[in-house]
Amino acid sequence: MHVLLFEDDLDLGQAIVNALRQEGLSVLWHRTAEGAQGLETTGIDAVLLDLGLPRVDGMDLLRGWRRAGWLVPVMVISARAELPQRLAGLDEGADDYLPKPFAMAELISRLRALHRRQARQASERWRIGTLEIAPRDNRVWVDGEPVELSGREFQLLEALARSPDAVVSKSALGRRLQPLGDPLEGSVIEVHMSNLRRKIGAHRIRTLRGVGYQLIA
Residue 6: its pLDDT value, please?
A: 95
Q: Exposed e or buried b for every residue in 129-163, given b needs 16+ CB within 10 A? A: eebbbebeeeebbeeeeebebeebbbbbbbbbbee
The answer to whether the predicted template modeling score (pTM) of the entire model surpasses 0.85 is: no
pLDDT value at 200 more than 70: yes
Whether the per-residue pLDDT at 5 is higher than 90: the answer is: yes
Which of helix, strand or coil describes residue 3?
A: strand
How many other CB atoms are found less than 10 A from the CB of residue 184?
21
Mean pLDDT of 168-185: 78
What pLDDT digit, counting tens, does each position of 114-161 carry?
Answer: 887 776 655 567 888 899 998 766 789 999 899 999 888 988 998 898
| Rounded-to-integer distance, Cα 139 and Cα 133, Å | 6
Tell me the domains of the chain and their CATH numbers. 2-121 (3.40.50.2300), 126-215 (1.10.10.10)
Confidence of residue 75 (pLDDT cuts 50, 70, 90): very high
Determine contact, residues 96/76, Cβ cutoff 8 Å. yes
Q: What average pLDDT does this structure show over 81-106?
A: 93
Per-residue pLDDT tens for 9-66?
999 999 999 999 999 888 999 998 887 776 666 678 899 999 999 988 999 999 888 8
